[in-house]
Structure 1
Amino acid sequence: MTPRSVLKPARELGLHEQQRVRLIVEPIDEMPEDRNAALARLRASIERMQFFSKGPLPTREELHDRA
């Protein structure tokens, strides 16, 4: 990218002329294999998790007790 490149939005942004914005730029050209591998790692990690309650869940009052 040259120092004076222009980023062009893919659709109308609905901004006012000269409106200041914050822009975050992230590449979206990920490889499908990378995404599939990451998803497989996530699913395997979830399978190994143990989320079981060992007693009664707290009541609403107990959850919101600010004392």
Structure 2
Amino acid sequence: MHIVDGLRDSVLGFSVIASGATAKDVMDMVLVTHYFDTMKEIGAASKSSVVFIPHGPSAVRDVAT
């Protein structure tokens, strides 16, 4: 079994348990969870620093203004 197969099975299983949740909802939750886990690990390191850079379609417009 590959990692992707396990992820697919987990997403499908969660979608069945949480009625109304779509596969996209589950993947969005996984991505946000990984994002916050990463930020927590960076923050836990004593000599780390973080610069938040806007990203996404509206970011280019925001930076331009």
User: Please, what TM-score do these two structures have when normalized by structure 1?
Assistant: 0.33
Structure with more relative contact order (C-alpha pairs < 8 Å, separation 6 or more): 2
Higher helix fraction: Structure 1 or Structure 2?
2
User: Please, what TM-score do these two structures have when normalized by structure 2?
Assistant: 0.34
